[in-house]
Structure 1
Amino acid sequence: MTAQRGKDLLLKVHDGADYATVAGLRTKRLAFNAQTVDVTDAESAGRWRELLGGAGVQRASLSGAGLFKDQASDALVRGVFFAGEVLSWQVVIPDFGTVSGPFQVTALEYAGSHDGELTFELALESAGALAFGVL
């Protein structure tokens, strides 16, 4: 993969009909994590830690920050947060693929200064199995 423009990484939410881009995001991040299951015992070779493959819990975290430029996406994200809903979200990674599946908005923050624009930050956690699609 060659160098990519960061702005081409898109965060989208399913609005009931299709995936809609969350407007005004300046930064986006997708992180994958896998919990380990330690099966080390007194007979482990050299007392090195042993892990049980495929046994840990996997999860993904999405986050973004920016400006709400579009009332529809602002209302959708805010409504999803306050309702505690789990919706289908999608991250488009240019020249790589898409990651989509159920996520819950776990944080929604608004900030502003007296001489600047209103900004927001949101955090999402996976709430089920994710799918990867090749672009």
Structure 2
Amino acid sequence: MAAQRGKDLLLKVDPAGGTNFQTVAGLRTRRIAFNAETVDVTDAESAGRWRELLGGAGVQRAALSGAGIFKDAASDAALRQLFFAGTVAPFQAIIPDFGSVTGPFQVTALEYGGEHNGEVSFEMTLESAGALAFAAL
């Protein structure tokens, strides 16, 4: 597989809760991270004192994050509204030559900043709030 352009990794939101996703405007960096907690079941009878884990027992989660230039687009307004309302909404991450991950997320951090001689920037963090679906491209 050939290398992929970072700009092709997209984060999308549908604040109405349907399937009409819009790309979050102005993002320069995007990230999706998957994590699973481990459940340690090691005891005195564990072979050679090696740690044993219980498969399929830990909580899984995903986090989406991004940073970019504030464009004051419809997606910016949607993120602000979702954050201040504490609403969970469908988001989608498109990963080139891999697939898409879609599911409910909550905006857990929204930051704005700017230099005197630069543009206004923003950063956002989203945490999964339910089961996610993967679809191969």
TM-score class, shorter? over 0.9
Q: Distance in 2 between matches of 1:41 and 1:15?
A: 47
Contact 2:15 2:82 in 1 (8 A): no
The equivalent position to 1:42 in structure 2, one of 38, 44, 47, is: 44
Per-residue CA distance 1:14-63 (angstroms, 9 max, x = gap): 13250000001000000000000000001101111000000000000100
Opposite residue 9 of structure 1, the aligned amino acid is L
Match of 2:13 in 1: 13
What TM-score do you get using the length of structure 2 for normalisation? 0.95
Q: Is the counterpart of residue 72 in structure 1 residue 74 in structure 2?
A: yes
Q: Distance in 2 between matches of 1:118 and 1:11?
A: 20
Match of 2:33 in 1: 31
What is the RMSD of the two structures over their aligned residues, measured on CA atoms? 0.9
Q: Is the counterpart of residue 22 in structure 1 residue 38 in structure 2?
A: no
Structure 1 residue ranges (4+ consecutive) displaced by more than 4 angstroms after TM superposition = none
Opposite residue 132 of structure 1, the aligned amino acid is F
Count the aligned residue pairs: 135
What TM-score do you get using the length of structure 1 for normalisation? 0.97
**CA offset at residue 116 of structure 1?**
0.2
Stretches of structure 1 lacking an aligned partner (at least 5 in a row): none
Match of 1:2 in 2: 2
Match of 1:93 in 2: 95
Opposite residue 54 of structure 1, the aligned amino acid is G
Opposite residue 11 of structure 1, the aligned amino acid is L
Stretches of structure 2 lacking an aligned partner (at least 5 in a row): none
SS of corresponding position for 1:122: strand
Opposite residue 5 of structure 1, the aligned amino acid is R
Moved more, 42-51 or 64-73: 64-73
Identity of aligned residues (%): 74
Opposite residue 13 of structure 2, the aligned amino acid is V
